[in-house]
């Protein structure tokens, strides 16, 4: 029984993976202490993944000194939607005015790959913007994939994002 559980856990760990690359502007020479994380989703599979990612990011950020807040928003795949960016910018402005955040972290999916109707691979672009001077201070690309679908690799994705932010000296 224990051997089966151990083998199952090992398969899950091996079958999900994240690769990344990033660039950082070190000129500000500071750690960001309060972050607004903005993540779009589409209804269905990506919504479930983003909700799981949010939970896992909250868990990962507990080990850092950075306070976080999320804006999750449904982004239509239809290009003929009026004022979608304005509505998002209004939500960001409200969040920034309510509680001063010094970093805005955008996580945008760029490619989604499905196998048999199951989301298997997501490419994300991440951009960190200093909310004081509006300069980009960090950019990264993540490739997240796994055999068992999005809920199984959301944890690995969150771990990689936070580790990369710490490694690149964006957060403590």
Kindly list the structural domains of the chain, giving each domain's residue range(s) and its CATH number in brackets, ordered by start.
29-167 (3.40.50)
Burial of 16 (0-12, 13-18, 19+ CB in 10 A): buried
Pairing verdict, β 103-115 and 118-130: antiparallel
What pTM does this model have?
A: 0.84
pLDDT per position as a tens digit, 114-131? 888 777 788 889 999 999
- Residue 152's nearest CA partner among 38, 48, 39 is 48
Per-residue pLDDT tens digits for 30-75: 899 999 999 998 877 678 889 999 999 999 999 888 999 999 998 8
Asked if residue 53 lies in contact with residue 154, where contact means CB atoms within 8 angstroms, the answer is yes
Report, as an integer, the average pLDDT of 89-97.
Answer: 93
Q: E strands of 5-164, at which residues?
A: 16-24, 34-41, 67-74, 103-115, 118-130, 136-146
Which range has the worst mean pLDDT, 50-54, 78-82, 159-163? 78-82
């Amino acid at each position: 029984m224990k051997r089966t559980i151990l083998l199952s856990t090992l398969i899950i760990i091996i079958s999900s993976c994240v690769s990344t690359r990033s660039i950082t502007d070190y000129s500000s020479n500071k750690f960001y202490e309060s972050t607004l994380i903005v993540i779009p989703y589409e209804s269905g599979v990506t919504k479930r993944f983003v909700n799981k990612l949010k939970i896992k990011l909250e868990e990962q950020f507990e080990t850092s000194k950075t306070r976080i807040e999320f804006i999750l928003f449904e982004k239509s795949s239809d290009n003929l939607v009026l004022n979608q960016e304005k509505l998002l910018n209004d939500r960001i402005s409200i969040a920034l005015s309510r509680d001063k955040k010094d970093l805005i972290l955008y996580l945008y999916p760029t490619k989604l790959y499905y196998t048999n109707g199951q989301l298997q691979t997501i490419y994300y672009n991440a951009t960190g913007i200093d909310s004081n001077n509006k300069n980009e201070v960090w950019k990264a690309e993540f490739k997240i994939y796994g055999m068992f679908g999005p809920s199984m690799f959301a944890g690995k994705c969150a771990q990689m994002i936070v580790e990369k932010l710490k490694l690149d000296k964006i957060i403590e």
